[in-house]
Amino acid sequence: NAGVMQNPRHLVRRRGQEARLRCSPMKGHSHVYWYRQLPEEGLKFMVYLQKENIIDESGMPKERFSAEFPKEGPSILRIQQVVRGDSAAYFCASSPQSGLSGNTIYFGEGSWLTVV
């Protein structure tokens, strides 16, 4: 997990508020992925980004969720108008290249969102 930095580690939001989760990839990695882990479930792919581009957002809920990876700064996962069902651990991962042939994806420590 060394190198992929996520913050905040823990976040509490009231229903209807916004949650912003940040991720800085490992040094030299330009590919970022977000996964969500619901209680008692495995990690589920949400979105894949490169600098200034969303490559695949097929796992993102259609509403309230958005992600970006600007030219400068960390990747941001934004959840608007949070509901209790959004309570989960959100993991960011990064890799130096796209795809798994010859490289692997490394995960950060996660951001635990609790909606009250």
Which residues within the stretch 37-56 sit at the binding site for another protein (CB under 8 A)? 40-45, 48, 56
The reply on whether position 5 binds another protein by CB under 8 A is no
Which residues within the stretch 85-104 sit at the binding site for another protein (CB under 8 A)? 91, 95, 98-101, 104
Cα-based distances in Å from 61 to 67, 81, 94:
11, 13, 21
DSSP 71-105: SSS-EEEEE-S--GGG-EEEEEEEESSSSSTT---
Binding residues (CB under 8 A) for another protein: these are: 1, 4, 6, 31, 33, 35, 40-45, 48, 56, 59, 91, 95, 98-101, 104-110, 112
